[in-house]
Amino acid sequence: MFERLKYWIWLASLDSMGPRKMNLLLDMFGDPLNLWHCSPDELKKISFLNENNLNQLADRKRREYSSACLEELKAKGIRVITIRDPEYPELLRHIYDPPAVLFVRGTLHCDEKMIAIVGSRKASAYGAKVAYTLAYKLSKAGFVIISGMAKGIDTQAHRGALEAGGRTVAVLGCGIDNVYPPENRGLAERIVQNGAVASEYLPGSKPMPYNFPARNRIISGMSLGTIVVEAGEKSGSLITAGYALDQGREVFAVPGNIDSMNSVGTNRLIKEGAKPVTDVKDVLEEFGITSDTRHCISGNERANRKATFFPPNLSDEEKILLKCLAEGRQHIDIIAAKCGMDSASISALLTMMELSGFVHQLPGKYFEIDEKLLF
Amino acid sequence: MQQGGDFLLSTVKSCALLGIDGRVVDVEVDISNGIPSFDIVGLGDAAVRESRERVRAAIKNSGFEYPVRRITVNLAPANLRKEGSSYDLAVAIGILYASGQLSGFDADKYMFVGELSLDGEIKPVNGALSMAACAQQNGIENLVLPVQNADEAAVVKGVNILPAGHILEVADHLQELNKITPHKVNSENLFSRFDPDAPDFADVKGQDIAKRALEVAASGGHNVLMVGPAGSGKTMLARRLPGILPSLTFEEAIEVTKIYSIAGLLPPGSSLITKRPFRNPHHTISAVGLTGGGKIPKPGEISLSHYGVLFLDELPEFGCEALEALRQPLEDGSVTVARLNASITYPARFMLLCAANPCKCGNYLSGSRECTCSPQSRSRYLGRLSAPLLDRIDIQIEISPVKYTELGCKKRAESSRAIRKRVEKAREIQLKRYRGTGIYSNSQLKPPMIDEFCVLDGAAAELLGKAFESLGLSARAHDRILKVARTIADLDESETIRTCHVAEAMQYRSLDRKLRDL
């Protein structure tokens, strides 16, 4: 087994070749071992291999390199999943250009129901909240949330899934020992514990700009559908949506204000036929899930719940505050005016409520009821 | 005056400025036989040297005789650098005295300051208040100074302030031909003057939380950072902060006036600055502009905001060097500028009020306009501020542009006067508590004193511990929250810090929080 993996690593290291050529070679030779033993003359006869490919096939043929690589992977707890392994995600196997090898930290199950939640790195507060909430609810409904661990929407999607106690998968555009962006290092560790961080690139690979669009095909390829939460005019997440379409998967888009630059892309997707998502139900419906309504209440219902939901043992002031916040997120000055309290007492009360986990502070001194309370 | 044989000598007194304090300078004039000349020695700058021409012309044009002999003027102490044109009058009087054209007065009882014009008129000088204070400390009974400076100098008690517009008036007074009446002002009246033009918090509709935060800041003397999108009202709020600080005491007013007098910034016709200063330097200011100094030493913006408010709008745009130069004065309440042969200390006990946009374009969280900044540039923008500077800022307020109509209630906003009453009460409590400890407000508490004075009740301590676990507050926020909670408790007239005080204080540390959507 160990011996066999060396040849796969050798194959993965051939970066002059795209996944399509690799798959053709695998089809012809059945296993990288056979390719390794194939003579240069025979290889020359293969029409789609150019000079570059041939040179690399010969140059990288160093057994020691591959073993050293394997040792390193083992030391770092990175597993190698090949397209021939049963663990390899079933949905991904069926796309046009599946990666021959996946490097994985954490656990991947081949038959998981995955949903991709992607979007702009420059997320607005709205986008961030929607991504978080959708991930949270879909996770509760049993989906694995897959995304790219980029800043903005991706980060919120992973966090939502983790907070819901669900599994989540991050596919990177660089080697998986190399967390990009670096501030998500902590998040990466949490994802490894509750899912997987995966990449088709050899550990140590740099986050090259052209890796990311290629990475997006894996995100959409592993999932049943892709939800684009926010996308500008030319966002990478539109590429993901494009792949999803090519791969015959569902494309969802979250509508936004028509004058918001962050929603130009998503609104256009809707115009072009993507399914608009205004509620988690919209997604679940598409996959025929209606039974578990606990986590998929409608907007109206949600408003009702907010109005009527009171945790036990609340003081009168706290009840008034929650009732006021049931109308949606509000600025502290407005909350104070509505509750008839002065700034000092409302500040203190909000801190206490936040510490008890009832309300949530947003930038700019805005507050809202913690969504988790409503489930 | 000594007159013997061919030499004539006289000594009259004038005043030099060192920092905000005056120092007596003896102007010695010697007239002797020899080739006619006029020299001034004693480390004078160009203005002092040029004084020769002004003095010569003024004496001649006022109808006196200019002695065509060898004149030497020494400004003692000779090792002290002297700047400016305020010695003109003393030099002229000295020459007239030495040449026998003036006599019959006790030169030790007079101090002369003033610049002369060529026709003998006396022009105003900077720092008259410090000079008057210096005269008073040195037991000099009379101070002859320009008419325009009389108001400020008259605040000092125990010195006869003799305003003169022309050198002839001085001569007449000294010869007892026509006495100048000492100028008097009633400094009590200055304080009671009501200023209807001062900006008032009653004009700010809404922004209740920001106003409350500023009230807490004023009560404890805490430095403040306001973060909010462009047009959210940061400057409007800032301008109103001095109005809720306790009124200046007489001693404080004198000290502030001295600084303004030295800087030449005293408004004409005013004798005493009785309102707390509000300084708002542009962000292109240099470090020297802020701290003071320069070739001819001048108080910087931090000294001009002594006992008042230094408002730095667009904080991240300020030069790094300028901001770092604030650190030491913020700790010490004074700034020392080292010069060639003296180091000058200016007082600088000010409240620092800063404003910053949340991002480069200024639109993040503005609600109406969209922010075009990338998350990286957004986190970089405020990240530029150095931690040591932020460590000296206890209160952070987020300002949001909330429309007044959204508030939906027609409550009248509170006036600055009402807020100031509460602030003054809280300050009194602090003064009483810190008597004999060398500090006077909660903002000055240092770690060992924090443990002594910021006593939390059990529930409050528990809350604080819990908050650090669950709100992601940074460790450096801990002491700041305690200090601010102390002030809130003082506003509440409570000796122990209770849960509600700590809970409110936590709302004023929002930049320490890692909020989800930021």
A293-332 residues touching B, CB cutoff 8 A: 331-332
Distance CA A66, CA A70 (A): 6
Point out the residue among B463, B488, B516 whose CB comes nearest to the CB of A355.
Answer: B463
Mean pLDDT by 10 residues, chain B (518 residues): 62 91 94 92 89 95 93 91 91 94 90 95 93 94 94 90 95 91 82 71 86 94 91 89 89 90 84 88 92 84 94 91 90 84 85 91 74 77 82 88 64 84 93 88 87 87 84 76 93 91 89 55
C-alpha angle with apex B70: B64 to B76, nearest 5 degrees? 90
Q: Which value, to the nearest 10 degrees, does the dihedral of the CA atoms of residues B248, B253, B257, B258 take?
A: -130
pLDDT digits (tens, 9 = 90+) for A56-93: 888 877 766 777 788 888 888 899 999 989 889 999 99
pLDDT digits (tens, 9 = 90+) for B443-465: 888 888 888 888 888 888 888 88
B447, A332 in Cβ contact below 8 A?
Answer: no
The secondary structure of B321-383 as a DSSP string is HHHHTTHHHHHHSEEEEE-SS-EEEEE---EEEEEE-SSSSS-TT-SSS-----HHHHHHHHH
Which one of A132, A333, A350, A367 makes the best mutation probe of the B interface by having the most chain B beta carbons within 10 Å? A333
Compute the average pLDDT of residues A233-247: 92
The reply to whether A347 touches chain B by the CB within 8 Å rule is yes
pLDDT digits (tens, 9 = 90+) for A127-175: 988 999 899 999 988 999 999 999 889 999 999 999 889 999 999 999 8
B479 to chain A, closest Cα gap in Å:
18
Asked if B510 lies within 8 A of A361 by C-beta distance, the reply is yes
Asked if A128 lies within 8 A of B517 by C-beta distance, the reply is yes
Count of CB pairs separated by less than 8 Å, A with B: 114
pLDDT digits (tens, 9 = 90+) for A253-311: 999 999 888 899 999 999 999 999 998 888 988 888 764 544 444 455 555 555 555 66
A338 to chain B, closest Cα gap in Å:
8
* Reported pTM: 0.72
- Nearest residue of A to residue B489, measured between CA atoms: A344
User: B463: which chain A residues are within 8 Å (Cβ-Cβ)?
Assistant: 352, 355
Distance CA B70, CA B9 (A): 12
Per-residue pLDDT at A299: 53
Which one of A262, A317, A330, A334 makes the best mutation probe of the B interface by having the most chain B beta carbons within 10 Å? A334
Element (H, E) at B187: helix B187-192
Burial B313-342 (b: 16+ CB within 10 A, else e): bebbebeeebbebbeebbeeebbbbeeeee
A359 to chain B, closest Cα gap in Å:
12
Q: Give the type of residue at A59.
A: D
Asked if B507 lies within 8 A of A351 by C-beta distance, the reply is yes
The reply to whether A348 touches chain B by the CB within 8 Å rule is yes
Q: What is the ipTM of this complex?
A: 0.78
Point out the residue among B374, B402, B507 whose CB comes nearest to the CB of A333.
Answer: B402
A187, A157 in Cβ contact below 8 A?
Answer: no
Paired tokens of B1? 């005056």
Asked if B503 lies within 8 A of A151 by C-beta distance, the reply is no
Per-residue pLDDT at B268: 77
User: A369: which chain B residues are within 8 Å (Cβ-Cβ)?
Assistant: none
B98, B28 in Cβ contact below 8 A?
Answer: no
Distance CA A160, CA A149 (A): 12
Asked if A352 lies within 8 A of B463 by C-beta distance, the reply is yes
pLDDT digits (tens, 9 = 90+) for A12-50: 888 888 888 898 888 888 888 888 888 888 888 888 888
